[in-house]
Every structure is written in C-alpha cells, then in structure tokens.
C-alpha cells in the first residue's frame, strides 16, 4: 500500500470552458488504500496564479468528515458553482489523523471567448510561450503510433501470412505424406 493515506480521482478534464454562475457537475472518487478505516475531508480551493480566491470544506453526506473502509472507495456526485473563471480549481483530500493533504485533483476553469467559440487550452505551467501551432511536438506525440504501425506487420506470424495469401496452411497433425508409388 506504499504508505499512502488516501487517493482522490474525478471525471473532470485538465481544463474546462466555464462561464461563471453555472453549475459544474462532477463525480469524485475517494479511495482508502490502507488496511485500516480512515476519516477524510474534502476541501475545494479556487486560485488564480498564486492568489487564493476561495477555500471551503465540501460536506459529504452532510458532514465535514466521512469514513472509508480499508481497501474500499466511495463515489460522490455533486456540482460546483463559482462567480470566477480563468482560475484553477483543486479539491484536496485531507486525512483526519495526520491532517495532511493525502492527495488532490485539479482543473483549470477557462472563460469562454467573446466570440462564443471555445477557448484554446491554456499552456501547462512552465511551458514555453508559442505564437502558433508547434508541429514538432505533434509529430513527437505521433511517433510511437507510427512506429507501432511499422513494427506490427513484421510481428504477424508466418502461418497467418500464408492464410492471407490464399494458401491454406493445415495444422501439423493433419499433414500426411503419401506413400511412395509402385514404381511408376
């Protein structure tokens, strides 16, 4: 179990076009990888750059703290609503005994553009600023797929290749040699 205190997952993408004032529905999964029952709390944090906009505890089943059985998980359904966009939303999983952040999930809330078209995804923190599409990174992402396309045909067994050409390859036990003729 690696000494981890807990895990949190959700079904939100790394960035979402979000208009302030609307509900943002999601499913959150909290897992207890330990062999003892754990109590957890969820904390929602909205920030922009290094500035904290809001932070609040998320009630689960009407309470701040909730338990998860050892080796089990719970699934939570809910929605967020903010009056801000162009900000980072993170949900922290707090373990009660140590009061440490056991795990967290995050997404970037991106405001829709003025023209009504969806916004482009924001750059990852620390990524170089580009003015256009970077074809070299697209090719680097496609390289493993192209390599598989070249290697896969070489890995097809020879027996299957014969069947594709129309030569029916019989299984080894069905092949029989004819006895030599009578001297013809």
Share of the chain above pLDDT 90, in %: 32
pLDDT of 45 over the 90 cut: yes
Most confidently predicted of 10-14, 119-123, 140-144: 10-14
Which pLDDT tens digit goes with each residue over 98-129? Answer: 989 999 999 999 888 744 545 455 555 555 55
Give the model's confidence band at 80: pLDDT under 50 very low, under 70 low, under 90 confident, else very high.
Answer: confident
Strands (E), the chain: 7-10, 15-17, 23-31, 38-48, 51-58, 66-68, 73-81, 87-95, 100-110
Domain boundaries, the chain: 7-126, 137-166
**Counting every residue, how long is the chain?**
184
Q: Could you tell me the two tokens for 47?
A: 């920030």
d(CA 120, CA 137): 16
Q: What are the counts of helices (DSSP H) followed by strands (DSSP E) for the chain?
A: 2, 9
Distances (CA, A) of 171 to 161, 162, 163, 174, 178: 14, 12, 12, 6, 17
pTM: 0.60
Better-predicted residue by pLDDT, 55 or 148: 55
Q: What is the mean pLDDT of residues 154-181?
A: 59
CATH of the structural domain 7-126, one choice from 2.60.40.10, 3.30.70.260, 1.10.10.10, 3.30.1540.10? 2.60.40.10
Q: State phi, psi for 93 to the nearest 5 degrees.
A: -100, 115
């Amino acid at each position: 179990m690696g000494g981890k205190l807990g895990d949190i997952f959700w079904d939100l993408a790394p960035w979402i076009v979000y208009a302030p004032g609307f509900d943002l529905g999601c499913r959150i999964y909290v897992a207890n990888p330990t062999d003892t029952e754990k109590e957890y709390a969820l904390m929602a944090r909205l920030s922009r750059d290094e500035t904290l906009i809001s932070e609040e505890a998320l009630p689960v089943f009407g309470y701040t703290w909730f338990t998860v059985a050892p080796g089990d998980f719970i699934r939570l359904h809910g929605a967020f609503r903010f009056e801000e966009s162009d900000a980072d939303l993170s949900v922290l999983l707090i373990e009660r005994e140590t009061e440490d952040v056991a795990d967290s999930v995050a997404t970037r809330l991106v405001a829709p553009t003025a023209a009504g078209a969806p916004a482009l995804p924001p750059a990852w923190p620390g990524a170089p600023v580009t003015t256009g599409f970077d074809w070299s990174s697209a090719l680097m992402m496609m390289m493993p797929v192209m390599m598989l396309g070249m290697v896969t045909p070489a890995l097809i067994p020879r027996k299957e290749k014969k069947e594709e050409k129309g030569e029916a390859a019989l299984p080894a036990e069905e092949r029989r040699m004819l006895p030599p003729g009578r001297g013809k």
